[in-house]
Amino acid sequence: MATVIEGKGGFRAWLNKRMPVDQFVADQLTGYYAPKNFNVWYFFGSLALLVFVMQIVTGIFVTMHFKPGEATAWNSVQVMVREVPYMWLIQPMHAVGASFFFVVVYLHMARAMLYGSYKAPRELLWIIGMLIYLALMAEAFMGYVLPNGNMSYWGAQVIINLFGTIPGIGPDLVEWIRGDYGIGDATLNRFFSLHVIALPFIIALLVMLHLVALRQVGSNNPDGIEIKEKLGKDGLPIDGVPFHPYYTVKDIVGVGLFLTLFAVVVFFAPTFGGLFMEPPNFEPANPVSTPDHIAPVWYFTPYYAILRAVPDQKIGALLMAASVVAFLFLPWLDRAKNKSIRYRGAASKILLGTFFITFVVLMWLGLKPADGIYVLLARIFTTLYFLFFILLPFVSKADGNGPVPDRVTYHAH
Ligand code: HEM
């Protein structure tokens, strides 16, 4: 009889001959040295991975009971949460999970901006991150349309019609995306297919590439100092610690905090005051009854505010596209020598701080009706938004070149 387990370590030896498991652990976990000064901002990469897996797992169960289509989608969601065991929990986990995904990804991106993690040699890592962000926006938008609530319907109407502003091909493109003259069965079925198969697959692939690119250059850190440049006698970075067990354990703390917060929201405030689930989406789609005020979910509203800040819809759509694409150019717009905001001057700190505030204010403005004072404010903050990207090359060049410490700053707890 061929024994797989030949005494102590037998199975492990058998496995390693066929798949380099130990080699992988040695290369990527115990032998991978990460900077020892990671702070809480470094939780969000692993948390993004966690939310992604959670969305896939809860999504598998939602898909089992969901019936895409104009006549069936809305009812199938109502039936699954009321009749199918545990779907009262799993369906809201999926819906709330979408918002948490964006909370985590926005904080993850903010961290990269604080510590200049997009700068050389991590430009490609940042670009792959931006591609994930774009794919995630498409994924979230389509998921939102699927249940065919009234805001799903009217939100999709507004967003898909934006493609109509593209000169020449616009109107045909809108019809091509919908697959019909209005949002109907064809639209809902193709969105289902893209939401459940194509986009998760693309996101998973991009996340893998993101991690491969990260391993190639190594993590940045709050000081923005390359730890690979200071090696000890053993050839290892003196400011690094093995990823496992140090950061696997630290990340578990982040996971615990995250899951606690997530559970509180799912159990006690799943709609989050209408921010995570909007009131009009508790009614089925009604093509003859527009919600009082159409707004996308909070994570899209900064861009929506920019779109509506301009009277001409074509220019508004162009500015909106530019406001997203602008992030792609950050590695080249930032001309400072130092990476981290810690070692940049006051002007850089004010510029970045103002940008973060601007983003949040635009988020709020996008949720408000586009009239009166809100329009004026949207115009002011849209200007501030673009000023960040315009001023960055000058400000970063002028005051991002001061002295940096020799070693990373680390205070033992
Ligand atoms: C599904 C979404 C994403 C996942 C699962 C993910 C995962 C990760 C992980 C595990 C890390 C290493 C741990 C850490 O530094 O926190 C990381 C680093 C990084 N990610 Fe992401 N990421 C995602 C989206 C993004 C996006 C949208 C961007 C930017 C547009 C981005 C930019 C970066 C950068 C620049 C780093 C290196 C940061 C540093 O070393 O300081 N990521 N990501």
220 CA closest ligand 1 atom index: 40
CA 331 to CA 120: how far, in whole Å? 7
**What SS3 state is found at 241?**
strand
Pair 213, 124: CB distance under 8 Å: yes
Q: Where are the domains of the chain?
A: 40-269+288-294, 295-403
Q: Is the pTM of this model over 0.75?
A: yes
Pair 116, 348: CB distance under 8 Å: no
Q: Look-up: residue for tokens 């991150």?
A: 129
Taking the centre of ligand 1 as the mean of its atom positions, its distance from the CA of residue 47, in whole angstroms, is: 10
Question: What's the sign of the alpha-carbon dihedral 154, 60, 273, 79?
Answer: positive
CATH number of 40-269+288-294: 1.20.810.10
Taking the centre of ligand 1 as the mean of its atom positions, its distance from the CA of residue 211, in whole angstroms, is: 8
**130 Cβ inside 6 Å of ligand 1:** yes
133 CA closest ligand 1 atom index: 27
Pair 99, 136: CB distance under 8 Å: no
**Residue of the CA atom closest to atom 19 of ligand 1:** 45
User: For a substitution probing ligand 1, which of 128, 205, 210 has the most ligand atoms within 8 Å of its CB?
Assistant: 210
Separation in Å, CA 163 to CA 175, 317, 357: 10, 9, 29
CATH 2.30.30 applies to domain 295-403: no
**48 Cβ inside 6 Å of ligand 1:** yes
pLDDT tens for the chain, residues 1 to 413: 444 444 567 899 999 999 999 999 999 999 999 999 999 999 999 999 999 999 999 999 999 999 999 999 999 999 999 999 999 999 999 999 999 999 999 999 999 999 999 999 999 999 999 999 999 999 999 999 999 999 999 999 999 999 999 999 999 999 999 999 999 999 999 999 999 999 999 999 999 999 999 999 999 999 999 999 999 999 999 999 999 999 999 999 999 999 999 999 999 999 999 999 999 999 999 999 999 889 999 999 999 999 999 999 999 999 999 999 999 999 999 999 999 999 999 999 999 999 999 999 999 999 999 999 999 999 999 999 999 999 999 999 999 999 999 999 998 76
